[in-house]
Amino acid sequence: MSELYSSMLTRPSTSADGPRLRAMAPALGAEITGLELGTSVTPAAITLVLDALHRYGVIVVRDQHLTPAEQLAFMEKLGPVKKSAYSRANAFSVPGQPDMMVISNIVENGRNIGLMDAGAMWHADGTHMAHPDMYTALYALEVPYRDGKALGDTLFTSVAEAFDALPDALRSRIAGRKAVHSFTHHLEKKRRQGDLRRPPLTDAQKAEYPDVEHPIVAVHPVTGRKALFVTEGHTARIVGLSPEESDALLEELWAHIRRPEFIYRHSWKVGDLLIWDNRATQHLAIFDYGDLPRRMHRVETLGPVPV
């Protein structure tokens, strides 16, 4: 971790009798305990959460007891909530909350109650949009267990730390370049890998999600840190390179992003509200639980156009 952000990890953030913040891994990740976001969403609590997000990239607020309305109200304090048109179209929304998506492998009355294949490749949420997601909050209602061990972990990597650690030659090769992000490409790649477990896009949905271009290196809109902004899941190609050159350079960048020293692995507990900064991190879901039931509620906020 860079010296500035390493020093932040050791700085106390709360008083001994209030919410407590604990770093979870060297590059990113922190745990907040002693905070109930359904009943104590004070300005101080919001400041604590945002400061922790910007320092650590991903935080888990433990032992929450949130209704869908409370989770949504909390996220509205972090930014404009994303309108989940894709969730609505596929009936993956929480009843009464059209902008909250169910992430689940549960089948009821012959249909999937939620999105079953979310996170199968390294990605940041919404990079296929002109205004990609800023923050995502995923709330754990059912966590699968086998032999007393929680399954379905989520891995996170710090793309800010990854940029800081780029070799000079690789940094020079990507300077000023842009890449194409594509939802259609994302779903086709999942299909080829045998990971697609959702309905195909309709023509209307394809028109709603046109391909977009974003800089390969983006500046965080709050912290000003630079981060790599190409993902295994949604980045189709690098503008101005041949397909062969583009594929080779993307694979090199993705391998760098996946280096172990940048990663935090989250083991879920019921009541976890996991919040991450999509401009500083990428994530990957681990599908090791088969048909054991898993149910989570997701809300996202929109961010500015990457620059």
CA distance 39 to 125: 28
Give mean pLDDT, residues 200-207. Answer: 72
Is 125 an active-site residue? yes
Q: What is the pTM of this model?
A: 0.90
Is 283 an active-site residue? yes
The residues with which 282 forms a beta bridge, in sequence order, are: 157
**Dihedral of the alpha carbons of 215, 219, 222, 224, in degrees to the nearest 10:** -170
Q: What is the pLDDT of residue 188?
A: 80
**Dihedral of the alpha carbons of 91, 135, 190, 90, in degrees to the nearest 10:** 10
Q: pLDDT grade, residue 118 (50/70/90)?
A: confident
Q: What domains are there in the chain, each with its CATH number?
A: 1-307 (3.60.130.10)
CA distance 178 to 217: 8
What would the pLDDT profile of 212-226 be if each residue is shown by its tens digit? 999 999 999 999 999
Q: What is the pLDDT of residue 208?
A: 76
Is 265 an active-site residue? no
Is 117 an active-site residue? no
CA distance 174 to 144: 41
Chain-centre distance for alpha carbon 110: 29
Residues 99, 125, 133, 277: which is the catalytic one?
125
CA distance 119 to 288: 13
Contact 253, 215 (CB under 8 A): no
What would the pLDDT profile of 29-49 be if each residue is shown by its tens digit? 999 999 999 987 899 999 999
Residues 55, 99, 123, 256: which is the catalytic one?
123
Residues 234, 279, 295, 298: which is the catalytic one?
298
Q: Are strands 93-94 and 281-285 parallel, antiparallel or unpaired?
A: unpaired
- Both structure tokens of 138: 């995923």
Q: For residue 42, what are the contacts with CB-CB under 8 A and spacing of at least 6?
A: none
Query: Which CA distances in Å does 256 have to 148, 260, 307?
Result: 34, 9, 21
Per-residue burial over 139-157, b if 16 or more Cβ lie within 10 Å, else e, is: bbbbbbeeeeebbbebbbb
